Amino acid sequence: MTEMGQKGFAPIIIILSILIGGAAGYLAYTKAYPAWISSVPVPTNEEEAVINTPTPQPAQTPAPAPKPTVKPTPVPATPAPQNNTCSISVLSDPSSPNSVRLTAGATSKNGSYIKGAQWDFDGNGSWDTDMSISNQNITHNYPNGTYTAKLKTSMSDGSTTDVCSKSVSTPYGFSVSLTGYVYEDINCNDMREPSERGLTGVTVKITNMNGYANLATLTTDSSGFYRFTYNLAPGNSITVKPHDEPLPNYGVTEDRHQIALNSSQNSINMDLGQIPSPVGDYCGF
C-alpha cells in the first residue's frame, strides 16, 4: 500500500478505537449502576407525605344507671334453746361427820319447778335412787374419802335436766357437843355441889337459838347425865339453849343458859339444877 493510502486509514482507525472504548465504558457503567444506586441514597427536596392513620378506639359501653341501695331487713337471730339446769347443795348432817345431806336444786328458764330428783351418790354411773320428789332432800352416809355425787331432776314442763355433779369429802365438817348433869340443887345456888345427886329420867330439850328449832330431845341416864352432839359444816357455828323439864315436886330456875358451839369451842359442859319443892319455896318458887 502506498504511503498515501496508509495515511487515509489512520483517521478511521482512531474513530473506531474511540467508539469501541466508549462502548466498553458504557457497558461497564451500566453494569455498576444498579449496585451504586442501591447503596447511595438519591437526595430529594420533596418531603415524603406521612399519613397518620388513627388507631381505632373500642366503642364506649354506657355505664348502667345506679340502682338505689336497698338495705336488707335484718332477720332476728333464733335464740339458743334455754335448758333447765340442776344444782347440788352439800350440808352437814347433825348425826355424824360421815353423814351428808344432799339437796337438789334447779334453775328454771320457763318457770317450771322440780318434780323429781335422782341420785348417783358416788358417781359410778349407776343411779342409786329412783326419780322421786321425796329425794329432793336426802341424807347419805359416806366412808372417809372423796366422792362425786351426781344428780338429774325432772321438771314440771316434762323435761329432764342434764346431769350435774358435786364433790363430797368425808368426814365433812366437825362435831360439837354439849354435856352435863341434871342434879338436885338443894341449896338453890345454881351450882352443883359434890353432895348433890343427879336426877334420872329428866327430859332435856336442845333448842337452836337461830330460828328456835328443836334440835334434840334427850333423857338423862341413871346418873343424871345427858349428851348432845351435833355436826357443823366447816366455818359454821351454832348457839343452843338446853331446857330441862322439871320432875314432879321439883322446879327449875329461869332458863338463862345459851351456849355457842364452834370450831374453837366445840365441847361445853352445862349442869342443870332442879330444886325440890320445899327448897323451891325458899328460892322463890
The domain ranges of the chain are 85-170, 174-283
To the nearest 10°, report the CA torsion of 94, 95, 98, 102: -50
pTM of the model: 0.55
CA 188 to CA 182: how far, in whole Å? 13
Reported as type and span, the H/E element at residue 15 is helix 3-39
- Return the sign of the alpha-carbon dihedral for residues 219, 223, 224, 229: negative
Does domain 85-170 sit in CATH 2.60.40.10?
Answer: yes
Query: What letter represents residue 235's amino acid?
Result: G
Query: Which among 151, 157, 160, 176 is positioned nearest to 230, based on CA atoms?
Result: 176
| Predicted confidence pLDDT, tens digits, the chain (285 residues) | 445 445 555 666 666 666 666 666 666 555 555 544 444 455 555 555 555 566 666 666 766 767 667 677 777 766 555 689 999 999 888 888 999 999 999 998 888 999 999 999 999 999 999 999 999 999 999 999 999 999 999 999 999 999 999 999 999 889 999 999 999 998 888 889 999 999 999 999 999 998 889 999 999 999 999 999 999 988 899 999 999 999 999 988 766 689 999 999 999 999 999 998 876 555 654
So what's the pLDDT on residue 142? 96
Burial class (CB in 10 A: 0-12, 13-18, 19+), 188: middle
Q: Which residues contact 22 (CB under 8 A, 6 or more apart)?
A: none
174-283: CATH topology: Immunoglobulin-like (2.60.40)
Q: Are 192 and 223 in contact (CB under 8 A)?
A: no
So what's the pLDDT on residue 257? 82
N residues, the chain:
285
CA 208 to CA 185: how far, in whole Å? 26
Cell representation of residue 15? 474513530
So what's the pLDDT on residue 140? 96
182: helix, strand or coil: strand
So what's the pLDDT on residue 268? 96
97: helix, strand or coil: strand
Phi, psi of 115 (to 5 degrees): -110, -20
Q: Which residues contact 268 (CB under 8 A, 6 or more apart)?
A: 177, 178, 179, 259, 261
Burial class (CB in 10 A: 0-12, 13-18, 19+), 91: middle
156: helix, strand or coil: coil
So what's the pLDDT on residue 28? 57
Torsional class of 190: left (φ above 0), alpha (ψ -120 to 50), beta (otherwise): left
How many C-beta atoms lie closer than 10 Å to residue 164's C-beta?
17
So what's the pLDDT on residue 68? 67
So what's the pLDDT on residue 72? 73
111: helix, strand or coil: coil
